[in-house]
Structure 1
Amino acid sequence: MNYRHLTPSMSLLLAFEAAARHESYTRAAVELSLTQSAVSRQVQALEQQLGLTLFRREGRRVQLTDVGRLYQREISEALGRIRGATLQATAYQSGGESLRLATLPTFGSKWLLPRLHDFYKTHPGILVHINSRIDAIDFETSGIDAAIVVGNTNLPGLISHRLQVEELVVIISPELACARDLWMPEHIGSQMLLNVANNPNVWGDWFSHHHLPHRMMRLGPSFELTSHLIQAVKAGIGIGLVPRILVAEELQGRELVSLDQPFSSQRNYLLVYPPRNEMLPSLQAFRAWLLAQI
């Protein structure tokens, strides 16, 4: 295998990526400060090197082929990582550092972001770039340095720090709460029960904890984001079972009412990262701050 053919020059890749993004050689030329014919020649050279047809040419217009669109997606991500690495190296050289952190969307907006100003007070030279992620994170390809996740156990191949046991509370709208003078577990079980898609068994665990038969459950719609479930509860659609730290503000402001004692799930909030990142100065500083906050 000739590896030279698999590693085109940066000038060819930049011309292709710009032309693919705009689907226009003219607009790519303006962006790259080149002539339109120069961009065309570079794209053709790339196609010849790869043995692929990346664009269909229709008169003066160009359009990505299916394989061109696939190649663009991968190349754009790779170029983004290169640019990010360059920015990080430049920031480090000038005395600054950065951390690319993935976090659960609702945890990020409800718990982390309101506190992050405190981190910047003591670490003004570190930038924390926040990425919202629900699915599992591939640290090999995503460019993420560390992540805050929730799970039952430590993740293999990663260093994990337990931040907090997930404590769940039953939440209900104030209007629905007034429907009864006293809410017992069996009353809660008769209502429409909302849940988050990535934790589908949570109500079953709650029913078992209260020794209630699972056949009583009236499962309602599920939501991808906990924040959407919280809004649905506020709207009176049903009852939710959510982490207490994500609704502390709403409970304090009486936007929501909690009907039961906190219930500890089998999951934990974790800070995780691959071993190779353990000595990153930005991660060391953030880890120490985060553990102190918890």
Structure 2
Amino acid sequence: MRRKLPSTQALNCFEAAARHQSFTRAAQELALTQGAVSRQVTALEAFVGVTLFKRSQHGMTLTPAGEDYARLVSRRLDSLERDTLDLMGRQDQGDALTLAAVPTFATRWLIPRFPLLAHEQPQLQVHIETRTRPFLFGDTGIDAALYAGTPEQVRQWAGTQATLLCPEDVLPVCSPALLTDMGEVSPEILASMPLLQQSTRPEAWRDWFDAQGIYAPRSMAGPRYELFSMQAAAASCGLGVALMPTLLIQAELASGALVVACPRPLRGQRAYYLVQPDLQERTALTCFKEWLLRQSH
């Protein structure tokens, strides 16, 4: 049965025109004439039987239906482009996986282990995209996600199954310059020091102080950073004490850029998981998962 699909040229012209709200700027981006873009969009409107743009003497705007369609088309074109680039890059060199990952875990834990993966599975290519929150796998073309979350958050990710990789222990660390001659300090002293905050985990310090039985009224005060890599950099520069997952700062601890401020690790509520759609598993993903589990234990 023939698919009812418009041409990719028409979709490309529509997506560019919708993004720029201008046929002229879309034409410049696509190296076409303004008339060619206009004709493609008009042909698309005729094909779907829906008006996508409202034209006036003052310019053009998307109709409500056009706005909805533009979001969908943009997402599909991005996915098609990614799949095409993936195929072009393989050149019969084996299988490939696309992973979503929280960025600091990917750069500090996963990627440094990729030489081992390349040695064990030289035909497997792994592409990584940054994602920090749950998403719908069916809209992305992503095979699996490396995700940091609580068991409850993982259970609420609809249509997926998850494999526990490793728990997360957090530890107060800072630049050695911040401690001067004190060495490691007590939780009471730590409560009076500048604390660096993780914006996605605003209560992390409060939970740590509660576990030590310490009242710390300033536990949620201090500069906030979105990524653990930013927080590690700030701590290394002497801006304050960071509460960091120990598996993400092994290099800084080994080099002395960061030292333990208070030797009281806390097992966090979060852990790292490999999350995948609840569908039949590809052979490449099975092989990668087995390798990943060996690395995490």
Whether TM exceeds 0.5 here: the answer is yes
Q: 1:251 aligns to what?
A: 253
Q: Distance in 1 between matches of 2:27 and 2:269?
A: 57
TM-score under structure 2 length normalisation: 0.82
Structure 1 57/98 Cα, relative in aligned 2: closer, same or farther at 3 Å?
A: farther
**CA deviation profile, 1:218-257 (whole Å, cap 9, x unmatched):** 6212211111111221222221101011111111111111
Correspondent of 1:160 among 156, 159, 162: 162
Deviation at 1:124, TM superposition (A): 2.4
Q: 1:202 aligns to what?
A: 204
TM-score under structure 1 length normalisation: 0.83
Q: 1:226 aligns to what?
A: 228
Match runs of 1:164-243 below 5 Å: 164-215=166-217, 217=219, 219-243=221-245
Are 1:271 and 2:274 counterparts?
A: yes
RMSD over aligned CA atoms reads 3.0
Deviation at 1:94, TM superposition (A): 3.5
Deviation at 1:97, TM superposition (A): 1.7
**CA deviation profile, 1:166-193 (whole Å, cap 9, x unmatched):** 0111111111111524511111111122
Q: Distance in 2 between matches of 1:92 and 1:114?
A: 22
Tell me the percent identity. 34
Q: 2:44 aligns to what?
A: 46
Correspondent of 2:147 among 143, 146, 149: 149
Q: Distance in 2 between matches of 1:244 and 1:159?
A: 26
Q: Distance in 1 between matches of 2:56 and 2:95?
A: 44
Q: Which amino acid aligns with 1:133?
A: R
Structure 1 131/26 Cα, relative in aligned 2: closer, same or farther at 3 Å?
A: closer
Deviation at 1:290, TM superposition (A): 0.8
Compare 39-48 and 105-114 and name the one that shifted more. 39-48
Deviation at 1:210, TM superposition (A): 0.9
**CA deviation profile, 1:255-293 (whole Å, cap 9, x unmatched):** 1111223221122111111121x5212211211111111
Q: What secondary structure sits across from 2:41 in the alignment?
A: helix
Deviation at 1:211, TM superposition (A): 1.0
Q: Distance in 1 between matches of 2:215 and 2:209?
A: 7
Correspondent of 2:126 among 109, 115, 128: 128
Unmatched 5+ residue regions in structure 1? none
Compare 35-44 and 200-209 and name the one that shifted more. 35-44
Structure 1 252/43 Cα, relative in aligned 2: closer, same or farther at 3 Å?
A: same
Is 1:166–1:267's contact at 8 Å kept on the other side of the alignment?
Answer: yes
Unmatched 5+ residue regions in structure 2? none
